[in-house]
Amino acid sequence: MSDSLFSQSGIANAQDERSVELAQKRLDALQAAYADLRRKLVQEGNEMTVAIETARKETDEHVRRKISEANQKLAEIEEEARERGIAKGHREGFDSGFTEGMQKGLERSRSDADELIQQKAEYMLGESCESVSKMLENVLVEFNGCWKFTIEEIRRDTVALARGIAERILRKEIVEFPQLVTENIELAIQRIGDRRKIRIEVNPVDLTTVIEFLPTLGQKIQGAEAAEVIGMESISRGGCSVRSATGSVDLGIDTQLDLIEAALIQDTQER
């Protein structure tokens, strides 16, 4: 087999074409479902944004109401402070003069009232803003988690479907073109450094084809002096494993499909 994993020849019979067409329809349906799900997620995200904006407006109104109440309370405290200051000013006025005592009393009371109102306003604003911030953070975390999980599920389903299509086509080609095993063997031997004595493991069904191919293989591969061919039930038809004194190359069908699947996973993750 050449570096390409699939033969350039098409599927000869109508049954194979229907199988590929059915697999394509399933892939199209999955892609359509993915697009529909994405639209729904975007719609839900927009609705969630509106809900958050509404909550933010309600929070702003709540803060404004609290500030208004605080201002009202400030006015009451100032009035009370003014009255207390006047009284205190009267008392101090007996010692240092009426005007000076009243002024000091008013300033002290007004300062205490301003500090109290500022503390209350900061507390109410901080509590409201912290509540909104936590709510927004929780919403974003939940949305991102849901989105990533959905995308990952779709990616796995798409890759599994693509592998299934590739496996079906490849196995049908192996039945129709038994010489594909010899191409795999030739490719595997080219990747082996020491070719003087090699052990070729194939499916028992492919033994006859491989043995007939050995003379041709000896002419095409330089350095190949001796080869032992073994039938192994663990190797799928069309695949092979070639071993030498320095290493081995596995070109089993399942191994090649695993490589295809890994490449598809990497491709979908990079997009």
CATH of the domain at 248: 3.30.2320.30
Domain range for 217 is 178-270
203 in Cβ contact with 233 (< 8 Å): yes
Structure tokens at 177: 């073109």
Task: Name the domain count of the chain.
Answer: 2
Same domain, 154 and 190: no
d(CA 89, CA 109): 11
Q: Tokens 């004595």 correspond to what residue?
A: 197
257 in Cβ contact with 169 (< 8 Å): no
192, pLDDT greater than 60: yes
Domain termination site, one of 159, 175, 191: 175
Top pLDDT among 121 and 69 is at 69
50, pLDDT greater than 80: no
One DSSP character per residue, 94-139 reads: HHH-HHHHHHHHHHHHHHHHHHHHHHHHHHHHHHHHHHHHHHHHHH
DSSP letter assigned to residue 204: G
Q: Tokens 């709540």 correspond to what residue?
A: 62
Top pLDDT among 21 and 126 is at 21
Structure tokens at 37: 């799900």
233, pLDDT greater than 90: yes
214 in Cβ contact with 205 (< 8 Å): no
* Surface-to-core class of residue 25, CB atoms within 10 Å of its CB (0-12 exposed, 13-18 middle, 19+ buried): exposed
CB count within 10 Å of CB 102 equals 20
3-state secondary structure of 242: strand
Domain termination site, one of 142, 175, 208: 175
Same domain, 142 and 130: yes
Same domain, 58 and 140: yes
For 81-116, write each residue's pLDDT tens digit: 566 654 555 455 444 544 554 566 556 656 665 666
CB count within 10 Å of CB 135 equals 14
Domain termination site, one of 120, 146, 175: 175
Same domain, 129 and 236: no
Query: Is residue 19 a part of any domain in this protein?
Result: yes
Least confident range of 13-17, 40-44, 199-203: 13-17
137, pLDDT greater than 50: yes
- pLDDT band at 9, cuts 50/70/90? very low
Q: In the chain, what's the furthest Cα-to-Cα distance? A: 129
For 13-32, write each residue's pLDDT tens digit: 455 566 667 666 766 776 67
Query: Is residue 4 a part of any domain in this protein?
Result: no
Least confident range of 131-140, 175-184, 260-269: 131-140
127, pLDDT greater than 60: no
d(CA 210, CA 201): 10
- pLDDT band at 205, cuts 50/70/90? very high
> Which pLDDT score, from 0 to 100, does residue 167 have?
72
